[in-house]
Amino acid sequence: MNILLVLLIILILVLLIAWAKINTLLAFLISSIIGAILLGIPFDKIPITIENGLGNMLGSLALIVVLGAMFGKLVAESGAAQKIADVLMKVFGTKYIQWALMFTGFIVGIPLFYNVGFVLLVPLIFSVAHQYKLPVVFIGLPLLAALSVTHGYLPPHPSPSAIVPMLGANMGKTLILGLIVAIPSMIIAGPLFAKTLRKIPSHPLSTFTTEIMPVEKLPGTFNSFFTPLLPVILIAASLFLPQFASGNEHLKSIFVFFANPLIVMLIALIYATFSLGINQGVGIKRIMSFYSDAIKDISIIIMIVGGAGILKQVFMDSGVNNDIAKMLIGLNMNPLLLGWLIAMAIRVAVGSATVAGLTTAGIVAPLALATGVNPNLMVLSIGAGSLMLSHVNDSGFWMFKEYFNLSLKDTLRSWSVMESIVGIVGILIILFLDTVI
C-alpha cells in the first residue's frame, strides 16, 4: 500500500508541473502536503515537516550553490573557461571532447562533493558548447556521469565513507574495487549513452555563457586551470592534513574547518576575485555585479531544490522508506542484489542517494554479517542502488533540469536514464566481481 501511495504522490507532482503548468516550488508544496496527509503524518506536524525539509536541504546546500554560482560566473566572464576549452580542444579535438570532459569530471569528482562539483564544472560545459557550437546535453552528460559515479562509489564521499565502517569493510579495498566499477559505468552512461541525445534542445542559463573573447584578453593557461581547480586541490589536501595533527585536537579541528566545502568555496572565490578579476584589470564594482547577477539567476534553483527537500522529508517522517525496505528484505536472493534493490527503493522514495545508502546499510548490516558476503562489494552494491532512478524528488534532477533549461520529459530521458545506467552497469560488474574474488 505504501508503495502505491508513494507512486501516487509522485504522479501528482508530475501532473502539477507537466500538465497543470504549476510553478515547480508550489507543485512541491502542494504534493508534499497531500502526501503528508495520505501517509498519516498528523496535521499539526505537517508544517514542521515542511520547515525541516526545506531547512535541512538548504542548510547544507544553499550557500555552496550561491558561492559556486559566483565562482562559475567569474570563471565564465573572465575568459578562464574559454581558455580551458581552447586547451582541451587542442589536446583532444572536437571528436573526443566528451572524453576530455568526462575524465575532468572524474578527477575533480574524487575529492569534491557532488553539488560543489556540479556548480563548479557546469560553466565549463556551457562555455565549450557555446564556443564550439556543440549540443549541451551531448557533451555535458559524460562529465556529470563521472561526478555521479564518484559520489556513489568512491570514498571520501559521504555515503560510501559512512557505510564502510557500518559493514566492516576496508576503505582502501572499497576504493580500489570502486574504481573498477566506476570507470566502465561512467563510460557507458557518459559518452556512449550521450550519443543518443544529440538532438535534445537545451538553452542553458545565460549567466554561465559569455561571448567569445579575443585570445589576447584571456587569462594565462596556468591561471585558467589552477583557479577553477583550487577547490579540488584544497579538498584533496585536506584528506591528508589530519594525519599531521598527531593527536592535537585543536589542530585537527582547524583542518576539519578548512576541509568543509563551504569554507573551501569561500576561499576559492576570494582567490578567484583577485586572480581572475582584479589582477586581470577588472574593477571590484564590476566583479560584484557579476556576483549579484549570479545570485539572481540561481535563486529559483535554490528554492526548487528546497522543494525537493520538503518531499523527501515527508517520506522520511512518515517512515515509508523503512516500510518499503523491510518488505523487500524478506525476499530470497543474492545479498548484494538485495542491498542494491533496497537502496533503489529508498532512493525512489526519498530522492537522496546519501539517505538511501545510509538507510540501506543500517537494514542490511545484520544480513551481510550472517551471509558472509564481501563487505566491500556490499558497500558498492548499495552505492549502485542509491544512484538508480533519479526523478522529481531528487535535488540533482532539478539542478540539472534548471541549469540546462530542459523540459521535464527531456530531463527524464537524459538525466534519469543516465543515473539508472550507472546503477545497472555498476551492479552487473559487482555481481561479476563477486564470482572472481
CB 235 within 8 A of CB 261: yes
Residue with cell 584578453: 217
Q: Is the model's pLDDT at 36 over the cut of 90? A: yes
Predicted confidence band of residue 434 (pLDDT cuts 50, 70, 90): very high
CB 101 within 8 A of CB 125: yes
CA distances from 103 to 99, 143, 204, 236 (A): 6, 7, 22, 17
CA distance linking residue 75 with residue 15, whole number of Å: 38
Q: Report, as an integer, the average pLDDT of 342-350.
A: 85
Q: At what angle do helices 221-240 and 80-92 cross, to 10 degrees?
A: 90
CA distance linking residue 180 with residue 426, whole number of Å: 9
DSSP one-letter string for 79-129 = THHHHHHHHHHHHHTGGGHHHHHHHHHHHHHTTS-HHHHHHHHHHHHHHHH
If phi over 0 gives left and psi between -120 and 50 gives alpha, with beta otherwise, what is residue 112? Answer: beta
Q: Is the model's pLDDT at 432 over the cut of 80? A: yes
pLDDT tens-digit series, residues 97-113: 899 889 888 877 775 66
Percent of the chain with pLDDT over 70: 91
Q: Is the model's pLDDT at 3 over the cut of 80? A: no
pTM: 0.71
According to the model, what pLDDT value does residue 330 have? 66
